[in-house]
Each structure stands twice: as C-alpha cells, then as structure tokens.
Chain A
C-alpha cells in the first residue's frame, strides 16, 4: 500500500481524496496555485507544495512542476481527481516513466477512450450498441455527406477530440450539413488542435444513463449500477441520482454492455460508461476514464467507498467485491451547488463565504471545500460543493433533499441553491418524467423563486 500520495487537484475533490487517504493512514501531499494558498485541501493535507500561478495551465496543468513536487516529497502515487490532468495520457505516461503510480487507467487506454471516434470503433467491434452513425472518423466533408445520407437526419456532427459540448453541431437536413460540419470542425481545431470528426444520429432529448465500473489489474470488472444524469443545463450536469428508473431487465443488459465495453480495452481502475437511452434502446456514447463528480450517489446506494477502492486497485489489490455483492439499496440524489446566479444567465459569482450552515442527519452528506470566511478564487470552475442525500426510496430521497436545501445556508455568495430546490419541486421531475431536455424546457418555471 502506498505510504504517500500526491493529490493533483483542488477544491472539493481534492478534499474528498485527502480525506480518503487519511482514513486509510496514507500521508497526503496537496498541490496548490498561488491563488489557492488558503484553500481547504491545502490546510488538511499533511504537506503541500505550491506549483504555479493562479491560471490553471501554470499550476494544476503544469505536469513538470507536479511531477517534481511528487518526487521531491517522495509520493509513490498521484491521484488526479477529475478534470485537469485526469484524462491526459501524456501525464499518465510521464508518471509511469518516473516510477510514480498514476491512480487511474494507463495512458494507452486513456488515449483510446479519449479519442471519441476511435472509442466508437472499438465498441462497434466489441458488440456494444452505439448510436447509429459513422463507423469511425469521417475522412472528409464529402465522405461525411455520404454517411449522413445513410444514417438519416437529424445528424449530430461531433469532434473526435471533443468534450464538454464543444466541437458539436446538429444538422437537420442536407442543406444545413456543410455549414454545420465546417463550423464544428473549426471549433474542434481551435479548441483541441484536432479536426477529426465523426457522425451520430441525433437522438432528440434522450435520457443520460451512465454506469459506474471498477476494474482491477487482474481482469476483474464489476459495474456498480447506474446514475441518471439527465438533468443538465447546456451539457453541464446539475442533479444526478442513483439508481435510475429503468427496468431491472434494462439494467442487466446495460450493465453487461458496460462491462463488455470496459473489458474490450482491458480497463483498470474507476470508469464510467455513458449511454443515451431512448425508449428501450440504449447506445454507448462515451467512456470517461476517471472518477466523476457524481460518484457519491453510487457510494450511497452501494455502500462502497469508490476513492478507497481506486487507491486499493492502484496499489495492486484485487477488487474487494464481486458483481453478486453489488446490491443497490434505497435511492440517492446529488445536487451541485455552484457560485452562480441563475437569474443572471448563470453568471459565475465568486465571493467570500460569510456564513456556512450545513445540515446533517441520516443519509445527509455535504462534499465541499468551503468554510466560513473563505474567499473563492475566480480562476476555476464555480462548483462550491455537492449536497448528497440517501433515502429508502426516490420519494424519501426527494423529501430529504428538499429538507436539506431548506436548511443549508451559504451566505456571502449567490448560488444555484434555490434553482436546485425548484427542480426538486417540479411535478414532472417528481413523477420521473424528465430527460436531457428537462431544464431547457422548464427553465422559466425553475427560475421563479424569490431571492
């Protein structure tokens, strides 16, 4: 087992990982930018190293400084969290070359899954259902048009190197196709330096269902059930829950597909297979080769500490559970609290936390890094923390979340707390009638809260 781990991240997830390490008796080294000197993860870690300027690419994305820090402090492993360098195969390879264990899959696997069109090809070959579309990357605009006629409109033109909704355009018919293709392609070239494109049939307002998988280096792959992350605003998740409302039959089929997908690339450590669900048809869209923001809801319904399992797997241990051991108990919901003003176009709104009152109780969890008196730096994403509840069933979970959001106080900054509360009170949401178009359609009524 590792004696010392460096956490190459910040904010809420850095705190989460440091806590997990401390609970396992592992020494922790935090890294921070000059803007994060007062951040909570720096205070609770055993040791900390300043790795660069406030801007992310000078610090949290500065591979050389991070590796130097790890080596100087004698950290045998690095946990990359999510975002930043977590899906950077160059970083994973660099760790390997320097004798440092990267807590995640190998650089090779990250590359394969990071290239969306390549990942699609691999899944097709493995027999995992994918959205009808091009076989892999399209060679040119003309090639794309031939494929488009084959698939049928509307079509989603996606960047191979893409993510976060960028490098994507919808073409409703052949007339729109040329422009959509060229726009998406140049956006991709600019944002990711790679203009390789592929096509998918545009599924209108599907549900976003993702499966958590965990694999060890001995070939054992287990899925820990699914999460419904359909409540999104502009491809950013706002609320997630586990399990979803799919039938047990669908769960088994999708779970098996997720395991098949992971095994097809010899996956190791934690990962998530994202599916689109339209009616009873499910399609693979991407695999995320990292621990995700919404991992707590899976932890609540399975009782398994995913971060701890990640560390164990990276240290060479066998998975501590088999597929039969995974039972989804009760229902869990997570809500992401961001420092933003929904009524002002969700504009980010950093500030100083004046009061913090966090509710508690059976099945109530608050994963965060803020504290009273903390000034939120404006250089990073606006997520302050996550409220997670676990109830006996979905109704119980919804009630617990409502009660928790009624009591939670984060003073000094404007947050989306009220906005999330409105979601929990929305009749369609409560009925389970929601898909990825939910927030888009209901935005007006969701914004009808008092300040």
Chain B
C-alpha cells in the first residue's frame, strides 16, 4: 500500500480522540430517507426503476421499454391536447340483475379504489388540434370487464360521435365480458357492434387501439371492428386463453402467440405503435381522414 495512504489511515485513528462525538439528532425536522413508492421493481426486467421518471416517461419502464398499464384518466392525459377533454356520459349506476353474491360490494370497492364509476370513460377531445370522440377502458376497475354500464357507455360513445359527426378512437383494455352480469354482458357485444356499424354508415372513422390486455368479449366485438386497428407493443390480444386453445387444438402454441406483433404479422392488427408515438400517429390519421362540412 502506498505510504501516503498508510499515513492518512494512521492519522485518522489517532485524530479520533479530538473528534467531538456527535449524536445524530433524532428530533431533526427533516429526516433523510427515500419515500416509499418512489422506486419500484419493474415486473418485466426486475430492475429498480424510479416511478416518477416512469410516469413522466408515459408509464414505460426506462430500462426495458415495458409498457405498463395506464389508468383511463392518465391515458387521456398523455394522448389528447391539454385542456381539450370534455367528459360525457355521467351518472350511470351499475346494478346486479342476476343477484350475484358479493357483486355489489365488489363494485363499491372498485369505485373507491379507482375513483371511477365504471371501467370506461369517454368524451370529446382534440389530438394535435383534430377533434374526435375518445373512449378509454380502465383495466384497474374489475379487470376492465364489460358489463351493462360499460356496454351502454361504449354504445353511447358511437352515438355521440354520430351526432357530432366526429371520428372515434377507443383504447381497449379488458379481461372480457363481465361474468357477474351473465347474458347482459354478452348482449353488450351485439349492441356495441351494431353501434359501430351505424357510425361507419355515416362514413366516419373509427380507430381501435388495443392495449394490454384485450381479451374475451371485447376482442370479439367492437375492439376488432375498427377501420384502423392499432396496438401497443407486446400487448396481449386474444379471445380465449392460451391454455384452452392449446388443449383444444392439441398443439404447442407458436412463439409470441397472442401478442400484438404476432397479430400485426398475421394481419389482425394494422400497426403496432410505441406509446411515445401514439399521439402523433393518431393525430396524423385524424388529419388524413378529416372531413370538410
């Protein structure tokens, strides 16, 4: 070891008797510590990521580019022009038509947790100056499942767009039709599909954006009926679950099955769009399809 380093080490131990013993004051008003929740582990790459940075980065892991789920309000915030969103369709109340045990309690608890009335919100907005109706499903509310209220609101979104002669963009994120409402949920598939058709009849544009995960009855109805279908990278998009499919066809499923890129390759998705580019892509599509009244 270098002489200088040795000397400093020796000096440190001898000078210690002159050091005033300080006690770390416990009652100091400011305690140095990391606030809980500031850093989390990315479920995909397992790296510790700064959550604030992730939020500012469109809810994408800075390390591995994993697109995290986005709440409906946040999705609108990062997609539309600031201050242009006007929410429509308030005041819906979810009922329990099949008298399922615990369903009402579940709804109440999700309402509190998410501060939403249901798993879907829609309204008027502008993207890069282009007006449109925008609807977003929220997977944090009971897995984004579609029951009567979601189905009704989705239908009303298209009807509003017809009324205002506007295009419509819907972001889907859903576990499928809501089991607790049984046939009422399934019926929403037909209802929403009919609404899509009526909107299309007016020559208006419908862009469907499939986000992770989009499955079941939502995939099998309005989500797949877009004039243009976009998807987010690596989003799970399907109808039946992979295990059921594998068992039914008795074959091993191919690599990347039911992921956005796979669907793009096969032609079920027109384009996989990185979240950073989503706003501009939508803006451009709205511009191309602009109608002059």
Interface residues of A (CB under 8 A from B): 3, 27, 38, 40, 43-44, 46, 64, 67, 70-71, 74-76, 90, 94, 97-100, 371-374
Cβ-defined contact, B35 with A98, below 8 A: yes
| Minimal Cβ-Cβ distance residue in A for B38 | A97
Which 7 A-B residue pairs are closest in the complex by CB-CB distance?
A43-B8, A99-B32, A99-B30, A373-B2, A371-B4, A71-B32, A74-B24
Residues from chain B with Cβ under 8 Å of A46 in the complex: 12
User: A-side binding surface: helix, strand, loop or mixed?
Assistant: loop
Distance in Å: Cβ of A371 to nearest Cβ of chain B: 5
Q: Complex Cα distance A76/B24, Å?
A: 10
In the complex, 7 of the A-B residue pairs with CB atoms within 8 angstroms, ordered by the A residue number, are A38-B2, A46-B12, A74-B24, A75-B32, A90-B53, A97-B35, A97-B52
Decide: A70 near B32, CB < 8 A? Known: A373-B2, A373-B4.
yes
Q: Complex Cα distance A48/B9, Å?
A: 12
Distance in Å: Cβ of A74 to nearest Cβ of chain B: 5
Residues from chain A with Cβ under 8 Å of B22 in the complex: 3, 27
| Minimal Cβ-Cβ distance residue in A for B25 | A3
Q: Does B33 contact A (CB under 8 A)?
A: yes
Q: Does B101 contact A (CB under 8 A)?
A: no
Q: Does B96 contact A (CB under 8 A)?
A: no
Q: Does B34 contact A (CB under 8 A)?
A: yes
Q: Does B244 contact A (CB under 8 A)?
A: no
Cβ-defined contact, A71 with B33, below 8 A: yes
Cβ-defined contact, A99 with B2, below 8 A: no
Which chain B residues in 1-52 approach chain A with CB under 8 Å? Answer: 2-5, 8-9, 12, 22, 24, 28, 30-35, 38-39, 48, 50, 52
Cβ-defined contact, A98 with B32, below 8 A: yes
Cβ-defined contact, A98 with B4, below 8 A: no
Cβ-defined contact, A71 with B34, below 8 A: yes
Residues from chain B with Cβ under 8 Å of A27 in the complex: 22
| Minimal Cβ-Cβ distance residue in B for A75 | B32
Distance in Å: Cβ of A435 to nearest Cβ of chain B: 42
Q: Complex Cα distance A71/B38, Å?
A: 15
Distance in Å: Cβ of B101 to nearest Cβ of chain A: 44
Q: Complex Cα distance A374/B5, Å?
A: 10
Cβ-defined contact, B5 with A43, below 8 A: yes
Excluding A3-B24, A100-B32, 11 further A-B contacts by CB distance (< 8 Å) are A70-B32, A71-B32, A71-B33, A74-B24, A76-B32, A94-B50, A97-B35, A98-B38, A99-B30, A99-B31, A371-B4
Q: Identify which of B2, B38, B52 gathers the most chain A CB atoms within 10 Å of its CB.
A: B2
Cβ-defined contact, A44 with B32, below 8 A: no
Residues from chain A with Cβ under 8 Å of B8 in the complex: 43-44
Residues from chain A with Cβ under 8 Å of B53 in the complex: 90
Cβ-defined contact, A38 with B5, below 8 A: yes
Which chain B residues in 30-81 approach chain A with CB under 8 Å? Answer: 30-35, 38-39, 48, 50, 52-53
Residues from chain A with Cβ under 8 Å of B28 in the complex: 76
Residues from chain A with Cβ under 8 Å of B32 in the complex: 70-71, 74-76, 98-100
Which chain B residues in 207-239 approach chain A with CB under 8 Å? Answer: none
Residues from chain B with Cβ under 8 Å of A43 in the complex: 4-5, 8-9
Residues from chain A with Cβ under 8 Å of B33 in the complex: 71, 98-99
